[in-house]
Protein backbone atom coordinates (compact mmCIF):
# COMPACT_ATOMS: atom_id res chain seq x y z
CA UNK A 1 0.00 0.00 0.00
CA UNK A 2 1.15 3.52 -0.78
CA UNK A 3 1.42 6.11 1.98
CA UNK A 4 0.26 9.71 1.93
CA UNK A 5 -0.95 12.47 4.23
CA UNK A 6 -4.66 13.06 4.63
CA UNK A 7 -6.66 15.60 6.57
CA UNK A 8 -9.29 14.26 8.92
CA UNK A 9 -12.28 16.20 10.14
CA UNK A 10 -13.47 16.49 13.70
CA UNK A 11 -16.10 18.80 15.12
CA UNK A 12 -16.55 19.85 18.74
CA UNK A 13 -18.82 22.65 19.95
CA UNK A 14 -19.28 23.82 16.33
CA UNK A 15 -15.54 24.26 15.86
CA UNK A 16 -13.83 22.45 12.97
CA UNK A 17 -10.37 21.16 13.68
CA UNK A 18 -8.08 19.46 11.19
CA UNK A 19 -5.62 16.80 12.28
CA UNK A 20 -2.81 15.43 10.13
CA UNK A 21 -2.29 11.69 10.27
CA UNK A 22 -0.30 9.15 8.28
CA UNK A 23 -2.48 7.01 6.01
CA UNK A 24 -2.15 4.06 3.68
CA UNK A 25 -3.50 4.41 0.14
CA UNK A 26 -5.55 1.75 -1.61
CA UNK A 27 -5.99 2.20 -5.35
CA UNK A 28 -9.31 0.83 -6.58
CA UNK A 29 -7.44 -0.91 -9.41
CA UNK A 30 -5.88 -3.28 -6.85
CA UNK A 31 -9.32 -4.85 -6.49
CA UNK A 32 -10.12 -4.95 -10.22
CA UNK A 33 -11.73 -1.52 -10.39
CA UNK A 34 -10.92 -0.28 -13.90
CA UNK A 35 -12.46 2.48 -16.04
CA UNK A 36 -15.54 1.46 -18.05
CA UNK A 37 -16.31 -1.45 -15.71
CA UNK A 38 -18.67 -1.96 -12.77
CA UNK A 39 -16.63 -1.15 -9.65
CA UNK A 40 -19.23 -2.20 -7.07
CA UNK A 41 -17.31 -5.33 -6.01
CA UNK A 42 -13.95 -3.52 -6.13
CA UNK A 43 -15.15 -0.68 -3.89
CA UNK A 44 -16.75 -3.13 -1.46
CA UNK A 45 -13.50 -5.10 -1.24
CA UNK A 46 -11.41 -1.96 -0.80
CA UNK A 47 -13.72 -0.83 2.01
CA UNK A 48 -13.46 -4.18 3.77
CA UNK A 49 -9.66 -3.96 3.81
CA UNK A 50 -9.68 -0.31 4.89
CA UNK A 51 -12.26 -0.92 7.62
CA UNK A 52 -10.17 -3.73 9.09
CA UNK A 53 -7.00 -1.63 9.18
CA UNK A 54 -5.83 -0.31 12.55
CA UNK A 55 -4.38 2.81 10.86
CA UNK A 56 -6.00 5.40 8.60
CA UNK A 57 -6.62 4.40 4.97
CA UNK A 58 -7.43 6.37 1.83
CA UNK A 59 -9.35 4.60 -0.96
CA UNK A 60 -8.59 6.26 -4.30
CA UNK A 61 -10.87 6.19 -7.36
CA UNK A 62 -8.75 8.01 -9.95
CA UNK A 63 -9.89 10.00 -12.97
CA UNK A 64 -11.84 8.03 -15.58
CA UNK A 65 -15.43 6.90 -16.07
CA UNK A 66 -16.75 3.94 -14.09
CA UNK A 67 -20.06 2.13 -13.81
CA UNK A 68 -21.47 1.09 -10.45
CA UNK A 69 -24.46 -0.75 -9.06
CA UNK A 70 -25.62 -0.63 -5.43
CA UNK A 71 -22.85 -0.57 -2.81
CA UNK A 72 -23.70 -0.87 0.89
CA UNK A 73 -20.72 -0.66 3.25
CA UNK A 74 -20.63 -0.09 6.98
CA UNK A 75 -18.56 -0.05 10.13
CA UNK A 76 -17.66 0.22 12.83
CA UNK A 77 -14.15 0.50 11.48
CA UNK A 78 -10.89 0.45 13.43
CA UNK A 79 -9.46 3.72 12.03
CA UNK A 80 -10.46 6.73 9.91
CA UNK A 81 -11.25 6.16 6.21
CA UNK A 82 -11.10 8.59 3.30
CA UNK A 83 -12.56 7.95 -0.14
CA UNK A 84 -10.91 10.18 -2.72
CA UNK A 85 -13.11 10.32 -5.80
CA UNK A 86 -11.56 11.96 -8.85
CA UNK A 87 -13.39 9.97 -11.52
CA UNK A 88 -17.02 9.82 -12.66
CA UNK A 89 -19.21 7.01 -11.34
CA UNK A 90 -22.34 6.30 -13.39
CA UNK A 91 -25.40 4.46 -12.12
CA UNK A 92 -27.50 2.29 -14.45
CA UNK A 93 -30.21 4.45 -16.05
CA UNK A 94 -33.04 2.08 -15.04
CA UNK A 95 -33.85 2.10 -11.29
CA UNK A 96 -34.43 -1.67 -11.25
CA UNK A 97 -30.87 -2.25 -12.47
CA UNK A 98 -29.23 -0.39 -9.57
CA UNK A 99 -29.92 -3.19 -7.10
CA UNK A 100 -30.80 -1.01 -4.13
CA UNK A 101 -32.53 2.20 -3.06
CA UNK A 102 -29.24 4.13 -2.86
CA UNK A 103 -26.30 3.87 -5.23
CA UNK A 104 -23.75 4.26 -2.42
CA UNK A 105 -24.79 3.77 1.19
CA UNK A 106 -22.33 4.10 4.08
CA UNK A 107 -23.28 3.47 7.70
CA UNK A 108 -22.04 3.25 11.29
CA UNK A 109 -18.68 4.96 10.77
CA UNK A 110 -16.67 7.51 12.73
CA UNK A 111 -14.21 9.89 11.01
CA UNK A 112 -15.15 9.39 7.36
CA UNK A 113 -13.90 11.74 4.65
CA UNK A 114 -15.10 11.77 1.05
CA UNK A 115 -13.09 14.18 -1.08
CA UNK A 116 -11.98 14.90 -4.62
CA UNK A 117 -13.14 16.48 -7.86
CA UNK A 118 -15.19 13.51 -9.03
CA UNK A 119 -18.85 13.07 -9.95
CA UNK A 120 -21.52 10.58 -8.95
CA UNK A 121 -23.96 10.50 -11.86
CA UNK A 122 -27.33 8.91 -11.15
CA UNK A 123 -28.37 9.11 -14.84
CA UNK A 124 -31.85 9.98 -13.63
CA UNK A 125 -33.58 11.25 -16.77
CA UNK A 126 -35.08 7.84 -17.55
CA UNK A 127 -36.43 7.52 -14.00
CA UNK A 128 -37.92 11.02 -13.82
CA UNK A 129 -40.34 10.09 -16.59
CA UNK A 130 -41.69 7.29 -14.36
CA UNK A 131 -42.41 9.59 -11.43
CA UNK A 132 -46.14 9.62 -10.67
CA UNK A 133 -46.18 11.09 -7.16
CA UNK A 134 -48.54 13.87 -8.26
CA UNK A 135 -51.20 11.19 -8.92
CA UNK A 136 -50.20 8.32 -6.65
CA UNK A 137 -49.86 8.76 -2.87
CA UNK A 138 -47.99 5.42 -2.72
CA UNK A 139 -45.58 6.26 -5.52
CA UNK A 140 -42.40 4.23 -5.76
CA UNK A 141 -39.18 5.93 -4.68
CA UNK A 142 -36.77 5.71 -7.58
CA UNK A 143 -33.38 5.63 -5.85
CA UNK A 144 -30.84 8.08 -4.40
CA UNK A 145 -27.21 8.72 -5.19
CA UNK A 146 -25.86 8.81 -1.62
CA UNK A 147 -27.04 7.60 1.76
CA UNK A 148 -25.25 8.31 5.05
CA UNK A 149 -26.60 6.49 8.12
CA UNK A 150 -25.36 6.90 11.70
CA UNK A 151 -22.05 8.52 10.77
CA UNK A 152 -20.17 10.78 13.19
CA UNK A 153 -17.38 13.39 12.97
CA UNK A 154 -17.14 13.28 9.19
CA UNK A 155 -16.85 15.55 6.15
CA UNK A 156 -17.85 15.42 2.47
CA UNK A 157 -16.02 17.98 0.34
CA UNK A 158 -15.40 18.83 -3.28
CA UNK A 159 -17.36 16.11 -5.05
CA UNK A 160 -20.46 16.53 -7.23
CA UNK A 161 -23.68 14.53 -7.27
CA UNK A 162 -25.47 14.73 -10.61
CA UNK A 163 -28.89 13.71 -11.93
CA UNK A 164 -30.02 11.50 -9.07
CA UNK A 165 -33.18 9.50 -9.70
CA UNK A 166 -34.69 10.64 -6.38
CA UNK A 167 -33.05 12.58 -3.52
CA UNK A 168 -29.36 13.19 -4.11
CA UNK A 169 -28.27 12.74 -0.50
CA UNK A 170 -30.04 11.33 2.56
CA UNK A 171 -28.50 11.97 5.99
CA UNK A 172 -29.99 9.87 8.80
CA UNK A 173 -28.94 9.57 12.43
CA UNK A 174 -25.64 11.42 11.93
CA UNK A 175 -23.72 13.70 14.32
CA UNK A 176 -21.09 16.37 13.56
CA UNK A 177 -21.37 15.86 9.82
CA UNK A 178 -20.26 18.51 7.31
CA UNK A 179 -20.67 19.15 3.59
CA UNK A 180 -18.17 21.75 2.34
CA UNK A 181 -17.61 22.79 -1.26
CA UNK A 182 -20.16 20.18 -2.29
CA UNK A 183 -22.21 20.44 -5.52
CA UNK A 184 -25.60 19.15 -6.64
CA UNK A 185 -26.47 19.39 -10.34
CA UNK A 186 -29.90 18.51 -11.73
CA UNK A 187 -32.34 20.30 -14.08
CA UNK A 188 -35.30 22.14 -12.59
CA UNK A 189 -37.87 19.77 -14.10
CA UNK A 190 -36.54 16.67 -12.30
CA UNK A 191 -39.26 15.72 -9.79
CA UNK A 192 -38.43 14.76 -6.17
CA UNK A 193 -34.69 15.30 -6.53
CA UNK A 194 -34.06 17.04 -3.19
CA UNK A 195 -30.42 18.06 -2.91
CA UNK A 196 -29.60 17.17 0.71
CA UNK A 197 -32.25 15.72 3.02
CA UNK A 198 -31.49 15.57 6.75
CA UNK A 199 -33.39 13.58 9.35
CA UNK A 200 -32.84 12.75 13.02
CA UNK A 201 -29.34 14.19 12.95
CA UNK A 202 -27.50 16.70 15.13
CA UNK A 203 -24.73 19.13 14.20
CA UNK A 204 -24.98 18.94 10.41
CA UNK A 205 -23.28 21.75 8.47
CA UNK A 206 -23.88 22.51 4.79
CA UNK A 207 -21.27 25.09 3.76
CA UNK A 208 -20.12 26.72 0.51
CA UNK A 209 -22.33 24.46 -1.55
CA UNK A 210 -24.07 24.97 -4.92
CA UNK A 211 -27.37 23.16 -5.43
CA UNK A 212 -29.42 23.05 -8.63
CA UNK A 213 -32.33 20.64 -8.51
CA UNK A 214 -36.01 19.97 -9.17
CA UNK A 215 -37.16 19.98 -5.55
CA UNK A 216 -35.90 21.37 -2.22
CA UNK A 217 -32.23 22.32 -2.32
CA UNK A 218 -32.02 21.41 1.35
CA UNK A 219 -34.84 19.69 3.23
CA UNK A 220 -34.82 19.24 6.98
CA UNK A 221 -36.96 16.41 8.24
CA UNK A 222 -38.05 15.48 11.74
CA UNK A 223 -35.39 15.19 14.43
CA UNK A 224 -33.06 17.72 12.77
CA UNK A 225 -31.17 19.63 15.47
CA UNK A 226 -28.42 22.26 15.44
CA UNK A 227 -28.14 22.45 11.66
CA UNK A 228 -26.23 25.25 9.89
CA UNK A 229 -26.82 26.01 6.20
CA UNK A 230 -24.38 28.77 5.23
CA UNK A 231 -23.14 30.24 1.96
CA UNK A 232 -25.34 27.95 -0.10
CA UNK A 233 -26.44 28.88 -3.63
CA UNK A 234 -29.82 27.39 -4.48
CA UNK A 235 -31.47 27.39 -7.89
CA UNK A 236 -33.28 26.06 -9.71
CA UNK A 237 -35.26 24.28 -7.04
CA UNK A 238 -37.98 24.66 -4.43
CA UNK A 239 -35.85 26.51 -1.89
CA UNK A 240 -34.61 25.56 1.59
CA UNK A 241 -37.31 23.86 3.64
CA UNK A 242 -37.96 22.70 7.17
CA UNK A 243 -40.41 19.86 6.66
CA UNK A 244 -42.78 18.70 5.61
CA UNK A 245 -43.68 17.68 9.16
CA UNK A 246 -46.62 16.20 11.03
CA UNK A 247 -47.64 13.44 8.66
CA UNK A 248 -46.61 10.67 11.06
CA UNK A 249 -47.27 10.25 14.79
CA UNK A 250 -43.77 9.02 15.70
CA UNK A 251 -41.88 12.08 14.41
CA UNK A 252 -39.28 13.93 16.51
CA UNK A 253 -39.10 17.70 17.14
CA UNK A 254 -36.91 20.10 15.17
CA UNK A 255 -34.69 22.56 17.06
CA UNK A 256 -31.90 25.02 16.26
CA UNK A 257 -31.86 25.51 12.48
CA UNK A 258 -29.83 28.41 11.03
CA UNK A 259 -30.02 29.39 7.35
CA UNK A 260 -27.47 32.16 6.81
CA UNK A 261 -25.60 33.95 4.04
CA UNK A 262 -27.40 32.06 1.27
CA UNK A 263 -28.52 33.09 -2.23
CA UNK A 264 -31.64 31.71 -3.89
CA UNK A 265 -32.23 32.34 -7.58
CA UNK A 266 -35.38 31.59 -9.57
CA UNK A 267 -36.72 29.14 -6.99
CA UNK A 268 -40.38 28.44 -6.26
CA UNK A 269 -39.81 29.15 -2.56
CA UNK A 270 -37.12 30.80 -0.51
CA UNK A 271 -36.95 29.75 3.14
CA UNK A 272 -39.94 27.71 4.21
CA UNK A 273 -41.46 25.80 7.12
CA UNK A 274 -44.16 23.38 6.00
CA UNK A 275 -46.45 21.15 8.07
CA UNK A 276 -49.40 18.95 7.14
CA UNK A 277 -52.95 19.70 8.31
CA UNK A 278 -55.27 16.95 9.55
CA UNK A 279 -52.38 14.62 10.40
CA UNK A 280 -51.36 13.06 13.77
CA UNK A 281 -47.92 14.63 14.33
CA UNK A 282 -47.67 16.79 17.49
CA UNK A 283 -43.97 17.80 17.57
CA UNK A 284 -42.51 21.27 18.05
CA UNK A 285 -40.42 23.39 15.68
CA UNK A 286 -38.37 25.98 17.56
CA UNK A 287 -35.29 28.20 17.37
CA UNK A 288 -35.34 28.84 13.63
CA UNK A 289 -33.10 31.58 12.24
CA UNK A 290 -33.22 32.86 8.64
CA UNK A 291 -30.59 35.59 8.26
CA UNK A 292 -28.61 37.50 5.62
CA UNK A 293 -30.29 35.89 2.62
CA UNK A 294 -30.49 37.21 -0.95
CA UNK A 295 -33.54 36.39 -3.07
CA UNK A 296 -33.35 36.72 -6.87
CA UNK A 297 -36.80 36.42 -8.45
CA UNK A 298 -38.02 33.90 -5.86
CA UNK A 299 -41.75 33.15 -6.02
CA UNK A 300 -42.38 32.83 -2.27
CA UNK A 301 -39.30 34.26 -0.52
CA UNK A 302 -40.44 33.72 3.09
CA UNK A 303 -43.21 31.29 3.90
CA UNK A 304 -44.64 29.37 6.84
CA UNK A 305 -47.20 26.98 5.41
CA UNK A 306 -49.12 24.96 8.00
CA UNK A 307 -51.65 23.92 5.38
CA UNK A 308 -49.12 22.11 3.23
CA UNK A 309 -51.07 19.73 0.99
CA UNK A 310 -49.25 18.99 -2.30
CA UNK A 311 -51.42 17.91 -5.25
CA UNK A 312 -54.50 18.13 -2.93
CA UNK A 313 -53.79 14.64 -1.63
CA UNK A 314 -54.91 15.37 1.92
CA UNK A 315 -57.75 16.85 3.96
CA UNK A 316 -57.75 20.24 5.67
CA UNK A 317 -60.60 19.32 7.98
CA UNK A 318 -58.42 19.84 11.06
CA UNK A 319 -55.50 22.25 11.57
CA UNK A 320 -51.89 21.22 11.90
CA UNK A 321 -50.86 20.12 15.39
CA UNK A 322 -47.23 21.21 14.94
CA UNK A 323 -46.25 24.08 17.27
CA UNK A 324 -43.87 26.63 15.69
CA UNK A 325 -42.07 29.11 17.95
CA UNK A 326 -38.99 31.36 18.18
CA UNK A 327 -38.51 32.15 14.50
CA UNK A 328 -36.14 35.00 13.55
CA UNK A 329 -36.35 36.40 10.01
CA UNK A 330 -33.65 39.02 9.58
CA UNK A 331 -31.74 40.88 6.86
CA UNK A 332 -33.50 39.46 3.79
CA UNK A 333 -33.12 41.35 0.51
CA UNK A 334 -33.72 41.02 -3.21
CA UNK A 335 -36.63 40.43 -5.56
CA UNK A 336 -39.80 38.41 -5.27
CA UNK A 337 -41.69 36.75 -8.10
CA UNK A 338 -44.97 37.47 -6.31
CA UNK A 339 -46.52 40.45 -4.54
CA UNK A 340 -46.82 38.51 -1.28
CA UNK A 341 -43.16 38.29 -0.33
CA UNK A 342 -43.91 37.11 3.21
CA UNK A 343 -46.60 34.51 3.90
CA UNK A 344 -47.06 33.34 7.48
CA UNK A 345 -49.93 30.85 7.38
CA UNK A 346 -49.79 29.37 10.88
CA UNK A 347 -52.05 26.77 12.44
CA UNK A 348 -55.36 27.88 13.96
CA UNK A 349 -55.01 25.02 16.45
CA UNK A 350 -51.53 25.97 17.71
CA UNK A 351 -50.71 29.51 16.51
CA UNK A 352 -47.08 30.47 15.92
CA UNK A 353 -45.32 32.29 18.76
CA UNK A 354 -42.17 34.34 19.09
CA UNK A 355 -41.84 35.23 15.39
CA UNK A 356 -39.58 38.25 14.79
CA UNK A 357 -39.12 40.02 11.45
CA UNK A 358 -36.52 42.73 10.91
CA UNK A 359 -34.86 44.41 7.94
CA UNK A 360 -36.68 42.67 5.10
CA UNK A 361 -36.13 44.60 1.87
CA UNK A 362 -37.89 42.68 -0.91
CA UNK A 363 -39.47 44.13 -4.02
CA UNK A 364 -41.92 42.88 -6.64
CA UNK A 365 -41.80 44.70 -9.97
CA UNK A 366 -40.00 47.56 -8.24
CA UNK A 367 -42.50 48.00 -5.41
CA UNK A 368 -42.15 46.71 -1.83
CA UNK A 369 -43.73 43.32 -1.21
CA UNK A 370 -46.58 42.80 1.22
CA UNK A 371 -46.83 40.39 4.14
CA UNK A 372 -49.88 38.25 4.87
CA UNK A 373 -50.23 36.67 8.28
CA UNK A 374 -52.74 34.35 9.91
CA UNK A 375 -52.68 32.87 13.42
CA UNK A 376 -49.49 34.75 14.27
CA UNK A 377 -48.59 38.21 15.60
CA UNK A 378 -44.95 38.77 14.63
CA UNK A 379 -42.74 41.42 16.17
CA UNK A 380 -41.65 43.66 13.27
CA UNK A 381 -38.67 46.04 13.49
CA UNK A 382 -36.59 47.99 11.00
CA UNK A 383 -37.58 48.08 7.34
CA UNK A 384 -40.16 45.34 6.86
CA UNK A 385 -43.75 45.17 5.61
CA UNK A 386 -46.54 45.17 8.17
CA UNK A 387 -48.79 42.12 8.39
CA UNK A 388 -52.20 42.02 6.76
CA UNK A 389 -54.81 39.28 6.62
CA UNK A 390 -54.62 37.04 3.55
CA UNK A 391 -57.17 37.97 0.93
CA UNK A 392 -57.42 34.48 -0.49
CA UNK A 393 -56.58 31.07 0.88
CA UNK A 394 -53.47 29.55 -0.65
CA UNK A 395 -52.83 25.90 -1.34
Residue 52 φ/ψ, nearest 5 degrees = -85, -15
- Residues marked active site are found at 238
* Separation between Cα atoms, residue 389 and residue 372, nearest integer Å: 5
What b/e readout covers 326-337, taking b as 16+ CB neighbours within 10 angstroms?
A: bbbbbbbbbbbb
Secondary structure class of 125 (helix, strand, coil):
helix
Burial (CB count <10 Å: 0-12, 13-18, 19+), residue 162: buried
* Separation between Cα atoms, residue 83 and residue 70, nearest integer Å: 17
**Which residue, 354, 382, 208, 377, is CA-closest to 289?**
354
* Separation between Cα atoms, residue 103 and residue 86, nearest integer Å: 17
The string of DSSP letters for 299-346 reads SSSEEEETT--GGG-S--SS----EEEEEEEEEEEEEESSSEEEEEE-
Cα 25 to the center of its chain, rounded Å: 31
**Which residue, 81, 88, 75, 145, is CA-closest to 112?**
81
Name the β-bridge partners of 61: 85
Neighbours of 316 (CB within 10 A): 14
* Separation between Cα atoms, residue 110 and residue 151, nearest integer Å: 6
Secondary structure class of 392 (helix, strand, coil):
coil
Amino acid sequence: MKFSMIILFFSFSSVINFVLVQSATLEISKFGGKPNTNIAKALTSAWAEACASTSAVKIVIPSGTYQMTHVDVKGPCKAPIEIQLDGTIKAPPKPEDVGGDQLLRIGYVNALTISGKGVIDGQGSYAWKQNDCSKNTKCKLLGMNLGFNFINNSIIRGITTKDSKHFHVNVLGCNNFTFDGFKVSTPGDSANTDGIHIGRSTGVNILNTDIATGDDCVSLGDGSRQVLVQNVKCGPGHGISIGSLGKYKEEESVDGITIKGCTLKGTTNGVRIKTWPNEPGTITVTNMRFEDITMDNVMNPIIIDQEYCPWNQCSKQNPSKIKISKVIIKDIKGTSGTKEGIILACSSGVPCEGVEISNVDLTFKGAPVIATCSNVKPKITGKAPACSAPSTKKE
